[in-house]
Chain A
């Protein structure tokens, strides 16, 4: 009898343990692929699914989504990048360097069904994971090119391709492709922009590299806007162009975009608090060039 009760208690404790484990489930790696460039992981943490290039480091999530609401944007930098549409409303031709989970491409297609997008991603493993696990959509007008971003841009230059919007999102936080952070690269990118086109770059907001990066962008584009949270952590999104819109035009675009962006969980009013105008200035920091690009050592 006593034994029975003891057993019962034990059984209860056992089930409780199992139950509590399912409630506070640990993240599970559901897909792992070793590619030429990195190890690609897909990790499920409850409703949240993330694309990672390393499971050891906490900061290595490249792209995340909520499985129940795939449209909702998870990362601040993605929200910032989408908010940058106020600087160029209704882009028709878009170039995205660095695919991640394909979130930006999907969201732009969702916003503008007629849009043409060239996605450029160096790692075929990332593309297949984006398609299989993040619902990345490719259509006749939304294409993916498996190529180095710099090579694609040089070839596009020769084909005289022109874009309304170029998004640079090729830095994964651990290693920087140095040839994608030089004055010459930005000049080549600039030559692909239409006169009213903009380039949106997801960059860093900490470390000494930040200043070199600003100097390089200033050198090629002059003044620019940056979007970042005031504390010095996380990403900084830069918005540059051949010519940038005035306040009035930005406000008009913002009014029109407020509702559509809200469906992605992007609060434009909140983002506006994080936008700063950064006028061109003389700095002591060296501009990064093809000749001098120790980005990973700075």
Chain B
């Protein structure tokens, strides 16, 4: 894969992670509504948890990029993100029931339930942006431009993820189906990243072949 396609591939992955973060955040409202209603405080809980998790994710992603940054590790983040989203489709009911039975106030109930359901996957998804910047930047002078382009792509993904999920996906599919689709897309892209890394490594190993 030449340098240009290599970078396009990273942008595609960043776009997809932006898309799925907001898609999942939006479905969060749906998942919590039967237990906590859909008032403004429920959205407050969801947004708080996502913002908190993303902020930590940025921090951790940046730290992680210091040690042997590679497309392989980048892909592994995607695979983990997909895995951590799986419980959302399979175990959200017992988690919600547990919180509902133990916390009367629907503000703290929705906050705690959001924590339990979305905190970890959102942290991992948050790690992707700074790591992408690390993989794309080759010199100091262009670092701002690269970061700008990266934010552009991933936030555009978020905008489209919000729109597509709220306007169309909920009209066509079950909530769990949409979440599982996000899981699989993230994991497949992660595996692709690992494979591309392998391919490039073998190409570099025998350049004269």
Contact = CB atoms under 8 A, between A and B. Distances in A.
A, B assembled together = yes
A125 to B, nearest CB: 14
Contacts of B36: 148, 151
Contacts of B176: 291
B34 A185 contact: yes
Contacts of A184: 34
B171 A148 contact: no
Contact of B34 (A290, A292, A294, A297): A290
Interface of B: 30, 33-40, 100-101, 106, 167, 170-171, 173-176
Contact of B39 (A36, A158, A294): A36
A154 B35 contact: yes
Interface residues of A, number: 22
A90 interface: no
Contact of A148 (B30, B39, B173): B39
Interface of B is mostly: helix
14 contacts: A37-B39, A148-B36, A148-B37, A148-B106, A151-B36, A154-B35, A158-B101, A179-B37, A184-B34, A292-B173, A293-B30, A294-B170, A297-B170, A297-B171
A179 B32 CA distance: 10
A122 interface: yes
A70 interface: no
Most chain B CB neighbours (cut-off 10 Å) among A37, A158, A297, A298:
A297
Nearest to A148: B37
Contacts of A178: 33, 38
Contact of A122 (B33, B37, B101, B174): B37
B175 A179 contact: no
Contacts of B35: 150-151, 154
A151 B171 contact: no
Contacts of B100: 154
Interface string A134-165: 00000000000000101100100010000000
Contacts of A294: 170-171
A112 to B, nearest CB: 31
B77 to A, nearest CB: 29
Nearest to A184: B34
A234 interface: no
Interface string A175-197: 00111001011000000000000
A271 to B, nearest CB: 34
A184 B38 CA distance: 16
B39 A122 contact: yes
A291 B93 CA distance: 12
Given A179-B38, A294-B171, 20 more contacts: A148-B37, A148-B38, A150-B33, A150-B37, A151-B35, A151-B36, A151-B37, A151-B106, A154-B34, A154-B35, A178-B33, A184-B34, A289-B174, A290-B175, A291-B174, A291-B175, A291-B176, A293-B170, A297-B167, A298-B171
